[in-house]
């Protein structure tokens, strides 16, 4: 993504070293901000600093300087490679030192966002790439201690975008649960119901509207699928998260212009 890259690495060696000979062939001056995804432990030595990194801990190392690592078992690491200059420009307090990063909810948002990007189709168009880069930099600015205007911009742009993505993913995973509510989302993503409703309202669609549309689209797909020809409409309604068949029928007719039974027959 431009000057940045999301990376995931399976490390199957006991020791890793990047020395001056390697650096002479690679002129990048990047930071790698990583996260260990499995139960392995890694010892990192750089600039005379020693760090022990385990599952769920974020860390920052420098690709333009010598580094040695040791691993007690094969490990999986996901992270972001980003030019050090970008971080210096956006974060006045950034000192460019390797470090084990402090625990923070912002890092959770950051790494979930990277995981989502790993599944995104490539290449991205220019507008989407710019949006992704802004979100990443904003989250990093917050997590690494930006102050003043940078922090304010990151809060209003990057963090809200990442939180919206978390909320949307939770809705997509659970919309067909008849007991699904904003309270369910709030507990999962660690936000208040009021904030969730507020951030969804800014997109032009409420929680109820999003859930209803997903349920109707799933019902529509099932009615079109020959594998469900013998499934009763009432059963389809319940599978899609509707608790009342009469309500399902009304909403389906309002959305698609006919009843579920008529839609099933007319689509053949």
Q: State residue 68's pLDDT score.
A: 94
- Where are the domain boundaries for CATH 1.10.10.60 in the chain? 209-266
Q: What pLDDT is stored for residue 233 in this prediction?
A: 93
Cα 71 from Cα 11, distance rounded (Å): 8
Fold of 209-266: Arc Repressor Mutant, subunit A (1.10.10)
- For residues 7 and 78, the answer to whether their CB atoms sit within 8 Å is yes
Q: Which residues of the chain have pLDDT under 70?
A: 92-93, 121-122, 145-159, 265-268
pLDDT at 104: 80
- Side-chain-facing half-sphere of 58: CA atoms under 13 Å: 21
CATH number of 1-101: 2.60.120.280
pTM score, two decimals? Answer: 0.58
Residue 109: the pLDDT is 81
Q: Indicate the average pLDDT of the chain.
A: 85
pLDDT at 232: 92
Contact (Cβ atoms closer than 8 angstroms) between residue 178 and residue 241: yes
Domain with CATH 2.60.120.280 in the chain: 1-101
């Amino acid at each position: 993504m431009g000057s940045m890259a999301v990376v995931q690495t399976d490390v199957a060696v006991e020791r890793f070293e990047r020395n001056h000979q390697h650096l002479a062939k690679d002129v990048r001056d990047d930071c790698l901000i990583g996260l260990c995804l499995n139960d392995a432990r890694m010892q990192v030595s750089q600039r005379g600093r020693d760090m022990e990194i385990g599952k769920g801990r974020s860390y920052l190392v420098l690709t333009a300087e010598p580094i040695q690592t040791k691993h007690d078992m094969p490990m999986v690491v996901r992270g972001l490679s980003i030019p050090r200059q970008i971080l210096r420009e956006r974060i006045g307090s950034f000192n460019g030192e390797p470090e084990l990063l402090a625990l923070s909810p912002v890092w959770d948002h950051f790494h979930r966002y990277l995981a989502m990007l790993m599944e995104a189709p490539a290449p991205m168009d220019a507008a989407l790439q710019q949006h992704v880069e802004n979100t990443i930099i904003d989250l990093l600015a917050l997590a690494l201690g930006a102050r003043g205007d940078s922090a304010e911009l990151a809060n209003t742009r990057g963090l809200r975008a990442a939180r919206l993505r978390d909320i949307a993913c939770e809705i997509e995973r659970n919309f067909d649960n008849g007991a699904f509510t904003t309270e369910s989302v709030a507990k999962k993503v660690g936000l208040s119901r009021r904030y969730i409703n507020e951030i969804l309202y800014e997109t032009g669609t409420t929680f109820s509207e999003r859930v209803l549309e997903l349920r109707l689209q799933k019902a529509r797909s099932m009615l079109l699928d020959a594998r469900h020809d013998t499934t009763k409409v009432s059963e389809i309604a319940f599978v899609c998260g509707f608790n009342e068949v009469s309500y399902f029928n009304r909403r389906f007719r309002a959305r698609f212009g006919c009843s579920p039974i008529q839609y099933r027959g007319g689509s053949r």
